[in-house]
Amino acid sequence: MADNAKRIPRHVAVVMDGNGRWANKRLMPRIVGHKYGVDALIGCINTCADRGIEYLTVFAFSSENWKRPEDEVSGLMNLVLTAVAKYLARLSDIGVRIQIIGDRAAVSEKVRAAWEHAERVTAGNKRITLSVAFNYGGRWDIVQACQRAVADGARAEQIDEALLSKYMALAYAPDPDLFIRTGGEVRISNFLLWQVAYSELYFTDCLWPDFDAAEIDKALADYAARDRRYGGVKTDISASGQKITLAPDA
Ligand code: IPE
Ligand code: IPE
Ligand code: MG
């Protein structure tokens, strides 16, 4: 259906949560859940590309995740290295452009090099842009945008939403249309704060390693049925096919 095609989100943002609980349920260490989480991510990238989604932004490591036990943090860092080595060529082959968003300064040289290698190798790809939020926080993003704007000489009266948007980490992408969080928690956890102002929010109990193509399609169907008003008034299609506006009397 042509109308349905219009209802595919251009940009989907995902908080990939629930790896630890997925592993615990199977009496396995949390890091095993993260490994299966990487496989779920690869599946998700494939499905999103197939569905015509142009931008996929995933929360892989938050600026708060350093609080986790040392062995889990180092396990996650090692997982980045093995995942890049294992999947980079395959992702590049299907046209995935990889971008990293987050504070790179606090990440080890090895991990930073792996991410920057992934960015370089995939820079010319056009099918879907995968932004990996790594050592990312929504508040950090707003602060770094202000700092860079001021460093570029912006004066107080020149700072507005359009200007700051150009300095936000996702300046190259439209705002997310659909924000998904797996794992049952109903919170943002300092993911994209600025960018989700008008995103449609979708929360599911499904744990991230189980979030397969069928689950993605459920989220997309839910999104397709939403009425996005952006502060305007509800619109509906009348029986004659004419668009009517259901507005309170002005
Ligand atoms: C999300 O899964 C992945 C990361 C934060 C790296 P969790 O590790 O938070 O899994 P749960 O929430 O403990 O189940
Ligand atoms: C959010 O999940 C961060 C990532 C998925 C990378 P958390 O598991 O860290 O979030 P909280 O602690 O439940 O809010
Ligand atoms: Mg969690």
* CATH number for the domain that contains residue 43: 3.40.1180.10
Q: Which two tokens stand for residue 214?
A: 């069928």
Question: Bridge partners of 191?
Answer: none
Of the ligands numbered here, which is closest to the C-alpha atom of 132? 2
Q: Please, which pLDDT band fits residue 234 given cuts at 50, 70 and 90? A: confident
Overall average pLDDT of the 21-29 stretch: 98
* Whether pLDDT at 238 is above 90: no
State the pLDDT at residue 247. 52
Range of the domain at 198: 2-246
Atom of ligand 2 nearest to the CA of 208: 5
- Going from the C-alpha of 133 to that of each of 72, 104, 175, 190, 238, the distances in angstroms are 18, 10, 15, 11, 43
Q: Please, which pLDDT band fits residue 184 given cuts at 50, 70 and 90? A: very high
- Determine whether the shortest distance from the Cβ of 189 to ligand 2 is under 6 A: yes
Residue 152 bears catalytic tag: no
Overall average pLDDT of the 16-41 stretch: 98
Query: Is position 64 annotated in a ligand binding site?
Result: yes
Query: Is position 115 annotated in a ligand binding site?
Result: no
E strand segments, the chain: 11-15, 55-62, 96-101, 128-136, 178-181, 200-203, 234-237, 243-246
Overall average pLDDT of the 96-113 stretch: 98
- Determine whether the shortest distance from the Cβ of 16 to ligand 2 is under 6 A: yes
- CA distance linking residue 157 with residue 150, whole number of Å: 11
- CA distance linking residue 39 with residue 235, whole number of Å: 40
Q: Which two tokens stand for residue 218?
A: 């459920």
- Going from the C-alpha of 42 to that of each of 8, 91, 164, 186, the distances in angstroms are 20, 8, 32, 24
User: Chain-centre distance of CA 174, in angstroms?
Assistant: 12
Query: Is position 30 annotated in a ligand binding site?
Result: yes
What's the domain count of the chain?
A: 1
Indicate the pTM of the whole model.
Answer: 0.93
**Probe target for ligand 1 pocket from 14, 15, 16, 17, with the most ligand atoms within 8 Å of CB:** 17
H helix count then E strand count, the chain:
8, 8
AA identity, residue 121? V
Share above pLDDT 70 across residues of the chain, in percent, rounded to a whole number: 91
Give the tens place of pLDDT for each residue, 240-249.
Answer: 555 555 554 4
Please say whether the beta carbons of 177 and 199 come within 8 A.
Answer: yes
Residue 17 bears catalytic tag: yes
